[in-house]
Amino acid sequence: MGYLSGRTAIISGGLGDIGRAIALELAQQGANIALGDVRDPAQAEPLLAQLQAKGVRARYDVADVSDPDAVEAWYRAAESDPGTPDLIIVNAAVVTLTDILSISPAQWRRELAVNLDGAFFMAQSGAKRLVARGMTGRIVFLGSWVAYAPRPHIPAYCVSKAGLRMLCKQFALALAPKGILVNEVAPGNVDAGLSAQIFRQQPELKRNHLQMIPVRRMIEPEEVALQVAHLCHPENRQMTGSVLLMDGGLSLLSDAGPQE
């Protein structure tokens, strides 16, 4: 039996590369899984089969985290099966590739609505349930190293992740007396999602990025999942309001790459 046996993890952005890796790792440790995303349910079937093959209960619900009513409905469904989530993994995010002078109001609003508002709705809804039931738990926000460092081609993403960092600290302060620990995992360049698609199309761009990273390698989604699982470990009882930075040394540099 894994160290998360009997626990239930709820994961937003559950069908993305990082969300999938987190779901598989937590299930490997025995947690039941409630996935949420905006994709068609048919796309969740292969992952659900993988999770269930590990001997845990798993479900998928279509849930847009930028809609608080949709978040509430998702939690109610998860409570019915597999159970009240006590591992809350706030992972859903979108990114717009443009500069601060070109991004449209609609793009700006959508990115902050998903990345920041959605993170608040998901964490608050889950935390209220835990407090009402007298349950302890863990909340893990998926942040980014760019919360420290402005990047000219993803301005709204940087702003949203900077806001997420303070959101994490606010929840951590409020929930610590309740036995609910709240932390952030902040990756650097992950070879997944939109980045992976771009790198496959432009291998030279990937080589250039590798030269910017002090450890000279990209992060795999499974590495991120291991850090999320670490923060969910029941013996991790003191770490709250912290940022687990895993950026390969990018934040050690005053200029981590080209600025155009």
144, 137, 138: which is closest to 116 by C-alpha?
A: 144
Catalytic residue set: 157
On whether the CB atoms of residues 22 and 15 are closer than 8 A, the answer is: no
| Helix extents (H) in 83-237 | 105-112, 118-133, 155-175, 193-201, 203-212, 221-232
DSSP class per residue in 85-115: -SEEEE-------S-TTT--HHHHHHHHIII
Q: How far apart are CA 6 and CA 83, in angstroms?
A: 9
Cis peptide bond upstream of 214, omega within 30:
no
d(CA 96, CA 62): 22
